[in-house]
Amino acid sequence: MGMVTQAMDGVGSEPGAFGKRIMELAERLAQWSEIPDGLTCTYLSHAHRSVAAEIRNWMRQAGLVTEIDAVANVVGRYAASDPAARTLIVASHYDTVRNAGKYDGRLGVLTALVLVEHLKRLGRELPVHLDVIAFSEEEGVRFSSSFLGSRAVAGRFDGKLLERQDADGHTLAAVMRDAGLDPARIPTLARRREELMGYLEVHIEQGPVLLEEGLPVGIVSAIAGSVRSSVTITGTAGHAGTVPMTRRHDAAAAAAELVLYVERRCAQEPTLVGTVGQFFVPNGATNIIPGRCELTLDIRAGDDAARDAAVSDVAAEIARIAARRGVSIESREVQRTATVPCSPRLQSLLADAVARAGITPRHLPSGAGHDAMMFDGLTDVAMLFVRCGNGGVSHSPREIITAEDADIAARVMLDAVLRLAETS
């Protein structure tokens, strides 16, 4: 990959330096976890707050004007000489799922950090403000609501979210106040359309396409929209040995039928996927017919029409299952996000930077949601995917990337940021 270094005018950093530093920083952040033998870092846990403090320190050392804002985003500004200049945001998130990998979300934060470290070393001024943002919450693990950090910055934070409770019954508002944050200040974090010139995000692919095609990076064409629901099935509990099979109203059996229908329905179209990620039988026991079952449902597609058609079909099947089995089924939608097409202009900018690095530009959709989605309609958005190893697995300790790929991604992003800034 020698041509990568040669293609970057003014990079001035030895080959591999960016990638090596990104990997080292990712290892350092992984030392803070809520579990002893893996990585879990959920919103405003002790581990989460420690990671935020470390990122803030690194940003300050890089010369950024830095703060931890009202939702615990870590925000650093590489300021232009003109205070009235527009702002380019380069961002991602630092929270994780449970038992996570080290690179989902954090790769984008650390890539942005090494870029500004490099610009600072060179004394390179930009004609735009460059804001590096480490969003505090994207995964939705603790309060079952994703994108808390980016929602606030994009002006999409719904105050009703403050009433959400975690598994211990603590409200989001109370947890924020205990952490020294002021929920009343959240509306002040919203950016204005006229002050922004774009949003860029680096993220691991979370899939096998780049790995199978032998490409280190790819350009995201669109981010799939999703509908998430919480489903509760209520049947009739009874003794496992005394109730005849024909007299049962088994909540778990009804749930199993629904799970298999979701699988069949969502296998009918190429970009459509459906997942039951949680499945519970509360107070279940070996010798009791399940009287209640709770599950989650996540349906996504590359376009909203295909997704919504599947959601409608699942709702109709829920009604049929309930009638056939003599159970009641309540489905409550908890989150809906629209499909977000990435900016053709910024896609082209990234593709040109990838080509200058000696790599064939590859455009591909994202089936996962990302913070970039929150900025749709506010400013142009684009994303650069980085190849995953281990078959493309993510949200797992088996999630891996290489230092070489991280280095290539950083150099491509530096090229794109410099050229975008100069066209402001």
In this predicted model, what pLDDT tens digit does every residue of 195-252 receive, in sequence order? 999 999 999 999 999 999 999 999 999 999 899 999 999 999 999 999 999 999 999 9
Domain with CATH 3.30.70.360 in the chain: 225-337
Distance separating alpha carbons of residues 233 and 386, to the nearest angstrom:
40
* CATH architecture under which domain 225-337 falls: 2-Layer Sandwich (3.30)
Q: Which residues, listed in sequence order, are joined to residue 234 by a DSSP beta bridge? A: 292, 328
Phi-psi region of 367 (alpha: psi -120 to 50; beta: other; left: phi over 0): alpha
Angle, vertex CA 369, rays to CA 176 and CA 170, nearest 5: 25
Rounded to 5 degrees, φ, ψ at 222 are: -160, 155
Contact 280, 294 (CB under 8 A): yes
Has residue 7 got a pLDDT over 80? no
Q: Which secondary-structure segment (H or E) carries 324?
A: helix 304-325
Has residue 101 got a pLDDT over 90? yes
Domain with CATH 3.40.630.10 in the chain: 2-223+340-422
- Band (363; pLDDT cuts 50, 70, 90): very high
Using only the alpha carbons of the chain, give its radius of gyration.
23
Has residue 3 got a pLDDT over 60? no
Per-residue pLDDT at 6: 37
Has residue 97 got a pLDDT over 50? yes
Higher pLDDT, 7 or 212: 212
- Band (423; pLDDT cuts 50, 70, 90): confident
Q: What share of the chain is helix, strand, coil (3-state, %, to 5)?
A: 40, 20, 40
Name the residue with tokens 């399940």. Answer: 290
Per-residue pLDDT at 13: 66
Has residue 2 got a pLDDT over 90? no
What global pTM score does this model have? 0.86
Q: Which residues, listed in sequence order, are joined to residue 330 by a DSSP beta bridge? A: 232
Four-CA torsion 249, 250, 254, 256, nearest 10 degrees: -160
Per-residue pLDDT at 164: 95
Q: What is the pLDDT of residues 166-211, one digit of tens each?
A: 999 999 999 999 999 999 999 999 999 999 999 999 999 999 999 9
Has residue 382 got a pLDDT over 90? yes
Has residue 324 got a pLDDT over 90? yes
Mean pLDDT of 360-372: 94
Per-residue pLDDT at 8: 43
Q: What is the CATH number of domain 2-223+340-422?
A: 3.40.630.10
Higher pLDDT, 309 or 144: 309
- Band (312; pLDDT cuts 50, 70, 90): very high
State whether residue 182 is helix, strand or coil: coil
Distance separating alpha carbons of residues 20 and 117, to the nearest angstrom:
14
